[in-house]
Structure 1
Amino acid sequence: MEPVWYPKEPEGTRLYRFMAALGFEDYGAFHRYSVEAPEDFYRALFNHLPFPWRTPYGKAIEGGFPFPKFFVGGRLNLVEAALDHPKEALALIHETEDGHLRALTYEELRREVARVAAGLRALGVGRQDRVGIWMPMGLEAATLLLAASWLGAIAIPIFSGYAAEAAAVRLKDAGAKLLAVQDGFFRRGRRVELLPEARKTQALSGTEKLLVVQRLGLPLEAGEVAYEALSGEAPPPEAMESMAPFMLIYTSGTTGRPKGTVHYHAGFPLKAALDLALFFDLREGDRLFWFTDLGWMMGPWAILGGLILGGTVFLYDGAPDHPGPERLWRMVEAHRITHLGLSPTLVRALIPFGEEPVRAFDRSSLRVLGSTGEPWNLEAYLWFFRVVGEEALPIVNYSGGTEVSGGILGNVLVRPIKPMGFNAPAPGIRVAVLDEAGKPVRGKVGELAVLNPWPGMTKGFWQDEARYLETYFAKVPGVWVHGDLALEDEEGHFFILGRSDDTLKVAGKRVGPAEVETAATRHPALREAAAIGVPHPVKGEAIVLFAVLRPGFAPSPALAEEVAERVAEALGKPLRPEKVLFVPDLPKTRNAKVMRRVIRAAFLGQDPGDLSALENPEAVAAIREAAQGG
């Protein structure tokens, strides 16, 4: 596959200037330096991205997998890195779904964070106390994240779409002392009241205190504290050891309780800033809008990384197509967004609205497009590139995860970019694709692996060391096996084909579900699709494809045959789906990630595990019904 984007002025990027200052013109040589001389690399990085160390560190990396230490002996507070910018510069803009706008300069943000930190301290919150933050993307969400870190407490971002039990499981596991909740918000024009759920959560989890942001004006009960009433004299930000935790982000598991990934002051914030600077070329004064939620990694990532680099972070708490399909593009024009991040599934959902809602608004401020969360299919990628980016803007495809604090792979803007691919490993991360014997391969599908520790990798799972070791280090001793199925081509470009536990193995041939889905969605009737593997007495595993139709098409056996044949033509007859089942929707998270494990479990009549992250749980029932009818 040939590139679709080529760098026009690579010398103007932050990455090129950083490389040149170190004597490199080629990214390959620079990347080898970053992994072979990490002590020199990170000292140089801290000159490029100034971090206000209270106590300088001695060694950048000490020890190897599974429990390395980073920036040993150093002390800092991430808040100082995030807020140390010109006072008058704009830090945050928040637009609500119903159109209310607020903004804070860096000086105003610092004052607000200090006020909230003082109020939290008055409520008894101190070093390493856990604080739940249950609210959509907004000013208060960002302020509370920073205020908890100011005190040396540990923030627990919680997905705004959870119900009481899902939130309570996380807070109870963490032993949270306080829950900060927004009383509610609007979603597709409907009032969503979180405060009644938070009261149930408090009872279920045993959390001591409830702090409430009164967005809808719901009345408080005895013992509940209003966010606006917080006050007091803020102490200076706590000087924290580099590996002191500041945040737990819980990820949903197929079975068992959610996993609490542990992030520390000199880890997640540094990795977010590094990737935004060197992959996305985010500069001081740029405006970053990533469509996400605070409870997903990309929420804190955008807030912390964007602020550390002196950018303006745009926060939106509503649906991307409400009250109409032009909503995203109107906000891009109105707020002069320079960096826009969307998931492939969200792009696929926007395509049926056509090009007019996009082209009706001025997108000349955009410089970089971003994407993460799942593999692309070619049609959606090219639509994003051609319609939104007008074939001029790079798409920084970005893949890693919550446990990584950002990307393992991405696209640097000094190299050509191939559709749906990644042109480089992240600086400081040595990447390989491993075959079933654990050996590096090129040109073949294998497991994506990291061969060296990097600042930002989770400090294990909260109170569950055994599960952490089993998740990443059981397959190949001493190597982080990430769980993604990947391919590196002969030119060094990478492609993610899906989660390795989603991998389909039909008659001995492994194929990623994304390959099947891409082939299927080339049929004009399909809007999107999800492929799963199910037991088969002869092949070992067979493919079942769930398809969502475009408007104007109706399900029929003949159409199912046509779709199956499209897959066979593209991938070969052995990979022809055994069944094509039509459903109204696929189960997705709020950030539009399709949950294939849930689809497979529902189809087979098994326990689908944790469903709390789903935005549309009704889709699971439709899949069960389709399975019974199919």
Structure 2
Amino acid sequence: MALRLRLTSIQCIERSCKWMGFASIKYNRSDSNSASPACLSHRRSASTTPFPEFPDSKTHEELYKFSLDHPETFWGTLARSRLTWSKNFTSVTDSSFKEQKFGWFHGGELNASVNCVDRHLKERADKPALIWEVDEPGKEIVYSYRKLSEMVGQIGNMLKNSGVKAGDRVTIYLSNSPIAVATMLACARIGAIHNVVFAGFSAEALATRINNAQSETVITANTILRGGKLIPAKSTVDAAVSHCSCVKRVFVHYRTDTEVPLGKLDINMDEAMAAESTDCVVQDRQSEDTLFMLYTSGSTGAPKGLIHSTAGYLLYANVTFKHAFDYQVGERFGCVADIGWITGHSYVLYGPLSNGATTLLFESTPQYPDPGRYWEMVERLKLNHIYLSPTALRLLLKSGDDYVKKYNRSSLRKLGCVGEPLNHQAWEWFYDVVGEKRCDIIDTWWQTGALCIKNPWPGMARSIYGNHKRFLETYFTNAPGFYYTGDGAQRTDSGYFQITGRMDDVLNVSGHRLGTAEIEDVMDDHPDVSETAIVGFPHDIKGEGIYAYAVLKDGRTKSKKELEFELRDLIKKRIGGLALPEIILV
């Protein structure tokens, strides 16, 4: 997955609201999460100049204009009214692209687990926080906010008593489950930084992320259930940890009754939790302290751990969930993304729970036991929102309308899509068939960073021969006011830029961003291979498929069939099945 950040700006809320037909949005200071009167008076005294009045009820266009004209008042008011703080912030932001400063809500302190769980206990303790749609068809397990709070407390104490401290990185290799959500929130509660790795990655890919993060703690399960199949998660972790000298402890949750051998680093997580109190002391975090890290799959071949701040990320997830998706109190929100991706972080966990919503945890696959799985789930759970990927839509579209229409979908109010471009045919099917032409579609857009240059230089190109319009469109429209190189880049601590390759060298396969260089590096390690190249091609289901070219060394003895098998096996072991090429051309 490449740099899959939050919804890019308030403009994304604007587009989403227009798609949903909003006439206006209200940001009301009497919100259930509103700040105390002291907080509001602090807002007014924090600056020597008077704040413009925040519009309680305006048209969306007026509110959007206000956000551009008075961004500090806009975000500052939302931060104080929508989040719970243990210490008020003294300034809204000192961010500047020009000065490369990105700080928000300085001086403030808060805790993400308090905002997602504790503050809802007074009014919503016995209301559902999580609906766990287990892999087995037709079954769900509901967890209340009270139960979630107890699990978070037990896991937080378990981690602290095992030596985990604030700022430590904890790697989580679990599928969508309440134990995974509670573990992420427990890390937030004690100030640890969670590093969730998609539980489809190989042992080598997992080891790379553990070592880069220098995680002393890993949390996994004995097995993972997906699509009726048992996936040996613990053996994958064992293989990874054997290459990670930094790891001191591995907690093993028992998802099934399958016995797995426990080594000297391993701890039975269920037993360790049971011995702990449900009351865990909160570690307050400064606004810019890291909440979590999440690894990309970049074009350099080396995954990059992107970090997200506590206050800024939490506020943005909270606000976009509420307003971009038009969440209404009491609704059931069904995002089927895996927690190993940023969508799962934002719209399975932090966005819904910080709003006191009921959120879905989908453990299975869209075609298990048949292509009606999503729609049967919508009927049974009475979901008001379903948020999925274009890949899933195209996959289910091929199975026809009958699997959809046999189930009652009248509870649905909004449809969401994310991951890759939503093609016209899938959009129409989603709207006409699934939503019965009455549900708005929120097609969310994400961003990837690029290297842009601010000032012209003498030796730069002036045009494209015979097509000056294309020259301007190519290099000056993506980032107005800057020269858009089309290359990705990383900036080192010393201030140097490392060019990571063309922006189109990152493929979008089933909504997962994969670096071409990462796959090429694996194939190049085969002793018979001299050189490789990876490109994408249009794929009816995945959106983009992987096409591999391999140039072989002289004197090889293996057959083409043997070679293809070995190359695919290498990729699966070192990256994971999601990176397997559809075609290998020798």
Give the TM-score taking structure 2 as reference length.
0.72
In structure 2, what is the equivalent of residue 563 of structure 1? none
In structure 2, what is the equivalent of residue 580 of structure 1? none
Structure-2 separation of matches of 1:29 and 1:4: 16
Give 1:283 deviation, angstroms: 2.7
In structure 2, what is the equivalent of residue 295 of structure 1? 340
In structure 2, what is the equivalent of residue 22 of structure 1? 55
Give 1:287 deviation, angstroms: 1.4
Whether 2:74 is the aligned partner of 1:54: answer: no
Letter of the 1:623 partner, please give it. I
In structure 2, what is the equivalent of residue 93 of structure 1? 131
Structure-2 separation of matches of 1:301 and 1:450: 29
Structure-2 separation of matches of 1:381 and 1:37: 36
In structure 2, what is the equivalent of residue 39 of structure 1? 72
- CA shift in 2, pair 1:310/1:200, >3 Å: same
Aligned counterparts, 1:100-499, within 5 A: 100-206=139-245, 207-217=247-257, 218-223=259-264, 224-229=266-271, 230=273, 231-233=275-277, 234-302=279-347, 303-401=349-447, 448-449=478-479, 465=493
Give 1:127 deviation, angstroms: 0.3
Which of 544, 547, 551 is matched with 1:594 structurally? 544
Structure-2 separation of matches of 1:54 and 1:240: 9
Structure-1 separation of matches of 2:133 and 2:148: 16
Aligned counterparts, 1:59-78, within 5 A: 59-65=91-97, 66-78=100-112
Give 1:220 deviation, angstroms: 4.2
- CA shift in 2, pair 1:212/1:468, >3 Å: farther
Say what the alpha-carbon RMSD is for the aligned residues: 3.8
- CA shift in 2, pair 1:320/1:450, >3 Å: farther
Give 1:205 deviation, angstroms: 1.6
Structure-2 separation of matches of 1:8 and 1:226: 47
Look up the SS of the partner of 1:253 in the other structure.
coil
Runs of 4+ aligned structure 1 residues displaced above 4 Å come to 3-9, 11-18, 401-404, 443-452, 463-472, 499-503, 544-549, 604-614
Contact 2:202 2:575 in 1 (8 A): no
Contact 1:251 1:402 in 2 (8 A): no
- CA shift in 2, pair 1:545/1:44, >3 Å: closer
Give 1:26 deviation, angstroms: 3.6
Which of 567, 583, 586 is matched with 1:623 structurally? 583
Farther-moved stretch of structure 1 (70-79 vs 20-29): 20-29
- CA shift in 2, pair 1:335/1:168, >3 Å: same
- CA shift in 2, pair 1:465/1:319, >3 Å: farther
Letter of the 1:10 partner, please give it. F
Aligned counterparts, 1:565-576, within 5 A: none
Contact 1:249 1:402 in 2 (8 A): no
Letter of the 1:92 partner, please give it. L
Q: Deviations over 1:248-274 (max 9, x none)?
A: 100101223101001121122221111
Structure-2 separation of matches of 1:102 and 1:175: 35
- Identity over aligned residues, as a percent? 25
In structure 2, what is the equivalent of residue 82 of structure 1? 116
Structure-2 separation of matches of 1:471 and 1:392: 47
Give 1:28 deviation, angstroms: 3.3
Contact 1:78 1:265 in 2 (8 A): yes
- Corresponding pairs, count: 472
Structure-2 separation of matches of 1:5 and 1:13: 9
- CA shift in 2, pair 1:219/1:202, >3 Å: same
Give 1:29 deviation, angstroms: 3.2
Structure-2 separation of matches of 1:444 and 1:326: 44
Give 1:318 deviation, angstroms: 1.3
Q: Deviations over 1:201-242 (max 9, x none)?
A: 112122110001111232341442122122334442101110
Look up the SS of the partner of 2:200 in the other structure.
coil
- CA shift in 2, pair 1:398/1:605, >3 Å: farther
Contact 2:219 2:250 in 1 (8 A): yes
Letter of the 2:260 partner, please give it. P
Structure-2 separation of matches of 1:64 and 1:300: 26
Give the TM-score taking structure 1 as reference length.
0.67
Give 1:133 deviation, angstroms: 0.6
Q: Deviations over 1:108-137 (max 9, x none)?
A: 111110011011111111101110110111
In structure 1, what is the equivalent of residue 525 of structure 2? none
Structure-2 separation of matches of 1:386 and 1:396: 15
Which of 10, 35, 51 is matched with 2:22 structurally? 10
Structure-1 separation of matches of 2:406 and 2:431: 17
Letter of the 1:63 partner, please give it. S
- CA shift in 2, pair 1:59/1:16, >3 Å: closer
Structure-1 separation of matches of 2:536 and 2:492: 36
- CA shift in 2, pair 1:289/1:72, >3 Å: same
In structure 1, stretches of 5+ residues that fail to align are: 405-435, 453-459, 475-482, 484-498, 504-512, 515-543, 550-585, 587-591
Give 1:356 deviation, angstroms: 0.8
Structure-2 separation of matches of 1:137 and 1:25: 39
Letter of the 1:240 partner, please give it. R
Give 1:68 deviation, angstroms: 1.5
Look up the SS of the partner of 1:252 in the other structure.
coil
In structure 2, what is the equivalent of residue 427 of structure 1? none
In structure 2, what is the equivalent of residue 579 of structure 1? none
Give 1:103 deviation, angstroms: 1.7
Higher relative contact order (CA 8 A, sep 6+): 2
Letter of the 1:238 partner, please give it. Q
Structure-2 separation of matches of 1:46 and 1:113: 24
Structure-1 separation of matches of 2:396 and 2:494: 42
Letter of the 1:78 partner, please give it. A
In structure 2, stretches of 5+ residues that fail to align are: 1-14, 32-52, 451-460, 463-469, 483-488, 510-534, 553-566
Structure-1 separation of matches of 2:188 and 2:354: 14
Letter of the 1:283 partner, please give it. Q
Give 1:616 deviation, angstroms: 4.3
- CA shift in 2, pair 1:449/1:232, >3 Å: farther
Structure-1 separation of matches of 2:311 and 2:19: 32
Contact 1:81 1:308 in 2 (8 A): yes
In structure 2, what is the equivalent of residue 539 of structure 1? none
Structure-1 separation of matches of 2:134 and 2:69: 46
- CA shift in 2, pair 1:593/1:104, >3 Å: farther
Look up the SS of the partner of 1:400 in the other structure.
coil
Structure-2 separation of matches of 1:265 and 1:6: 29
Farther-moved stretch of structure 1 (286-295 vs 394-403): 394-403
Q: Deviations over 1:319-372 (max 9, x none)?
A: 111110110111111111111111112111111110111111111111111111
Look up the SS of the partner of 2:398 in the other structure.
helix
- CA shift in 2, pair 1:451/1:280, >3 Å: farther
Letter of the 2:262 partner, please give it. E
Give 1:467 deviation, angstroms: 9.5
Structure-2 separation of matches of 1:282 and 1:469: 41
